[in-house]
Amino acid sequence: MSKLNFKNKWVVVTGASSGLGKEIARYLAKYEKANLIITARRVKKLEQLKKEIEQNNNTKVEVVGVDLIEPKGVNFLFDNAIKVGPIYGIINNAGLTYYGKTEKAKIENYNQIVNLNFNAVMKLSLLFLDYFRNMGQGGLLNITSEAAFIPIPYQNVYSASKHASQSFTDALREENRKTGIVISSFAPSGIATEMITKSGLDKKISKDSIFNMKPDKAAKKAIKAFKRGKSISVPGFINKLTLFFVHIFPRKWVVRIAGFIYIPPEKK
């Protein structure tokens, strides 16, 4: 039996201008009949998505343009979201990565990754958790990653930030398991989104690789698991099998294999 029913209720989706966030918004509108507050930095893309969704579905969409990396971004989103109407759910999807030798990037790049992948997730989770308690209902879904369970060389800080987000979500769920608030995480492996091409990871693993799940398929799996109140959802048999072996093999082996898989190709 489903623990969440999104029909005619307002759901916040971060990072909705492209990729997984965009497909989550589409799925929620089409199949769950949810009203949406979609947010990202690229307002023009959000406006295009709003137009598409409202033309094809009997749902309402509000746009909040915000950069969650900025210090005031989280509070700006929260304050503007609760003005729209009673919020029933939030999906923290926005994310950022860097691919390459760790020492090659500037510390400012890593600050942005940590601020978006963990700090913003933590702050939004706590703000909306308190809000949901006062409302007496609600659901929180944090999109983490399989990298939350496996140290990934050459995506070192990304992996660490996702580990932090996963650990935070797991512990927060335990602290609030008797409140009736659904707190879930969705931990996919590679998804065929622009993050792969922007980071340069496509030079190692093609965006069209069978190891990269299509974003619409990932969105469907994420929302179905969230509706059921599943604590952690890892989509795909290969990904589940990978995590099984991760818990069996010595950690040194796991990191060595991950390093072999992700070592950047030599520049020609």
Tell me which residue of 16, 178, 194, 198 sits closest to 100, measured CA to CA: 198
Torsion sign across C-alpha atoms 244, 210, 207, 227? negative
| Cβ–Cβ < 8 Å for 11, 34 | yes
Does the pLDDT at position 180 exceed 80?
yes
Whether 81 is covered by a domain: the verdict is yes
Measured in degrees and rounded to the nearest 5, phi and psi for residue 240 equal -65, -40
CB neighbourhood size of 70 (10 A): 12
Tens of pLDDT, residue by residue over 103-143, are 998 999 999 999 999 999 999 999 999 999 999 999 999 99
| Total count of domains within the chain | 1
For the stretch 3-40, pLDDT in tens is 899 999 999 999 999 899 999 999 999 999 999 999 99
CATH number, domain with residue 75? 3.40.50.720
Query: Is 228 among the domain residues?
Result: yes
89 three-class SS: strand
Domain enclosing residue 35, as ranges: 10-262
